[in-house]
Structure 1
Amino acid sequence: MKMTIRKIAELSGVSRGTVDKVVHDREGVSNEVRTHVQKIIDEFGYKLPTRKPKEIIQQVEPERSYRVAVLSPRLTNPFFEKVIRGMQDALMSESAQSVHAEYFHCDSENVNEQLSILYYLEEHGIDGILLRGTRNQRLCDRINHLTEKGIPIVLFDSDVPGSKRLCFVGENSGASSRVAASLLAKSIGEEGEVAIISGLPDMSTHRARVQGFEQVMRERFPKICIVEKINSRDQSVIAYEKTRYLLRQYPHLRGIFNAVGCTGDIGQALIDQQAQHIKMVCYNMTPDIVALVKRGIVDFAIGLAPYQQGFSAMNAMTAYLTQGKQPAAFIELPQLIGIDENIEALAKTM
């Protein structure tokens, strides 16, 4: 039986891209996987196709194609709509013509759903995966397993601590939350009551934002009291109702730090309760947030460049697959501060 790269991949339990790297002695494969694949090659006698010099000159071997999968939250969130648009535009470049993406939309907090998709992709063959991470050991273990199988993983927006992912593309959450704390403190005169609205506890980005904010308040602004942390679970109805609760419970509340999404619903609660005097700092510059900043409901919005996030994540993956280019372990995105006078212009660039 004539052996092919496809058959070697099936026998080895790895992707065809991994076998191709072993055969041509390219980087991007662990020593353990390389040894395993080479053993299969030696056992079944696979040899590279040979051609006469004239044939090599006259014939051009078809370019290898790559399949990558993107696991993203559903596009009802305009932030991730821009992330996906950035990924799609990255695939339009000449160097990425051989890479084709398939999109799977799932809730990031539903780890079982993410894992089932990852199992499916491994079973049916995939050359690379991009996904939004969560702090979950099972997900971490699955990422490490796929990496050892020679399938590179690029994480975006939220990292998976301890994973062997190829790289993470996103914000420096600690730095951005320190900026948020300083902005809110200065806007309320460095004293008074403030509250934090947090989101998904398993999202490393959300957790780091809250921790950074609290640390700055303890260290630099002792006259500011964080009266409560509420969890919206990044759900619109919960965010609205819990903001109303905050306003009833703390009539002297002076500021809100929204570390997650649903800013539009939080802003609506402030409007409905006639509490526009409360200062608010949030993330992102989606159309609803731009409108709230222009109305004076949101005082500062920290932009996270979603389009650039998607473009950089896909670009890192395509460069690795097609050129063997190793990206930086952390591709940090810029932080931009939007206020009433500049937010419309900034939002167009993100």
Structure 2
Amino acid sequence: MSTMTTMKDIAKMANTSIGTVDRALNNKPGVSAKTRERIMAIAESLDYKPNRLGKALVLRNKNMQLGFIIEPITNPFFEELKRGAEQMRDALNEYGITTHIFCMNTHEEKEMVELLDRMSDMGVAGIALNAINSPVVIDKLVKLRESGHRIVTCSTDISRGYRDCFVGFCHEKSARVAAELLAKFTGKKGEFLVTIGYRYIMAHMQRLNGFESKIKEEYPGISLAGVLEVEENDEIAFRETLKALEGNDRINGIFIAGYGIKGVAKAVEVKNLGRDIKIICYDNSAFVTDYVKKGVIDAVICQDPEKQGYMALKILSDLIIGDKEVRSDTYTTSIDIRLCENIDKDIQDWDI
């Protein structure tokens, strides 16, 4: 796994825009000598390696097109991921690269395949996507790669042989951290309920596997009360969680491994069973912050979706325009644990 310094990192440290950083690093007009000097010093301290996009495009004289398919932004995670992708899209646009971003309306594989066909017809050279790990999607990606397209999966992965690079999160490791936290929150005994979005989303299954393995390996006093597939839907999450709580008075911990956070939290609130149920979920947002402050949710695992969206497009462009292979086939953001004391800490750390 690797990380790389980007113009956005430099912009954040210099308290300026990406455009200003780009002009300073490439000796373009419109930047004061003082600002240019500060930016160059920061770039040197971070061991920044310049992007070769501009030079490559001049040499090739191409009008490049890229595509990005994002899952429904009704999930705040994907809304933030889209924001990061849009920021990189704007940066690439300065080099004459056009990026088409499409947000899905459903979680259906049929819609994803249709969007992949549409992008291929538009003439894109590469595609980043929140991949659905299903045979029909994988078959389509195989055909696209055989025809010369570069593929970067973002946030959720497929098997390595069917894409060039994955940009996202270490889902299994993060779930093992969640299991350790939940075990310690509950005195290492009790029964834990797990909710996932869909079994065909690899990220959710990696989290489930990581959580289960950690519990089985290290906490004999804890068992799993069940795994609920809630289809990324708060109503389903509410109904199924409520049913599980009513049927099992030994549940004292819930691990929310996908979306449906609001539904699970509401079920715990509404039931008000008079027992302390600890909850750990993924990804901060306004309503998650509220539930943490109310004491309903105990810990949040944040994975920086904005940076994931940004880096997925950056790596895709490096693969195509830079004529270079990525140093690793996996780039992941850090595991960031938020409790009540630090839940307000920069919900969007990557704003410029």
TM-score, normalised to structure 2, is 0.78
Deviates more, 1:259-268 or 1:303-312: 259-268
Structure 2 match to 1:152: 150
Pairwise CA distance, 1:103: 2.0
Q: Secondary structure at the match of 1:255?
A: strand
Unaligned ranges ≥5, structure 1? 1-59
Aligned 8 A contact 2:173 2:210 in 1: yes
Aligned 8 A contact 1:109 1:200 in 2: no
Aligned 8 A contact 1:108 1:132 in 2: no
TM-score, normalised to structure 1, is 0.79
After superposition, residues 78-89 of structure 1 pair within 5 angstroms as 78-89=76-87
**In structure 1, C-alpha distance between the alignment counterparts of 2:178 and 2:228, rounded to whole Å:** 17
Aligned 8 A contact 2:195 2:257 in 1: yes
Pairwise CA distance, 1:291: 1.3
Structure 2 match to 1:241: 239
Residue by residue over 1:226-246, the C-alpha shift from the partner in whole angstroms, topping out at 9 and shown as x without a partner, is 111111111111001111112
Aligned 8 A contact 1:285 1:303 in 2: yes
Aligned 8 A contact 2:72 2:106 in 1: no
Q: 2:313 aligned with 1:314, yes or no?
A: yes
Aligned 8 A contact 2:92 2:98 in 1: no
Structure 1 match to 2:47: none
Q: Secondary structure at the match of 2:162?
A: coil
Pairwise CA distance, 1:79: 0.9
Structure 2 match to 1:292: 291
Q: Secondary structure at the match of 1:144?
A: helix
**In structure 1, C-alpha distance between the alignment counterparts of 2:210 and 2:105, rounded to whole Å:** 25
**In structure 2, C-alpha distance between the alignment counterparts of 1:71 and 1:250, rounded to whole Å:** 40
- The one-letter code sitting in structure 2 at the alignment partner of 1:247 is L
Structure 2 match to 1:341: 341
Pairwise CA distance, 1:97: 2.6
Pairwise CA distance, 1:108: 6.4
Identity of aligned residues (%): 26
Pairwise CA distance, 1:99: 1.6
Pairwise CA distance, 1:96: 5.6
Q: Which residue, out of 69, 73, 76, partners 1:75?
A: 73
**In structure 2, C-alpha distance between the alignment counterparts of 1:288 and 1:317, rounded to whole Å:** 33
Distance 1:206 1:62, change over 3 A: closer
Structure 1 match to 2:278: 279
Q: How many residues were matched structurally?
A: 291
Q: Find the structure with the greater CA-based Rg.
A: 1
Residue by residue over 1:288-320, the C-alpha shift from the partner in whole angstroms, topping out at 9 and shown as x without a partner, is 111111111111100011101101101111222
Q: After the TM superposition, which segments of 4 or more aligned residues of structure 1 sit over 6 Å from their partners? A: none
Pairwise CA distance, 1:325: 3.0
Residue by residue over 1:102-151, the C-alpha shift from the partner in whole angstroms, topping out at 9 and shown as x without a partner, is 12222564111111222222233211111111221221121121112111
Q: Secondary structure at the match of 1:301?
A: strand
Residue by residue over 1:47-77, the C-alpha shift from the partner in whole angstroms, topping out at 9 and shown as x without a partner, is xxxxxxxxxxxxx889422111111112211
After superposition, residues 1-350 of structure 1 pair within 5 angstroms as 63-93=61-91, 97-106=95-104, 109-275=107-273, 277-327=276-326, 328-349=328-349
Aligned 8 A contact 1:302 1:338 in 2: yes
**In structure 2, C-alpha distance between the alignment counterparts of 1:108 and 1:309, rounded to whole Å:** 21
Q: Secondary structure at the match of 2:159?
A: coil
- Give the alignment's Cα RMSD to 1 decimal: 1.9
- The one-letter code sitting in structure 1 at the alignment partner of 2:193 is A
Q: Secondary structure at the match of 2:347?
A: helix
Aligned 8 A contact 2:67 2:127 in 1: yes
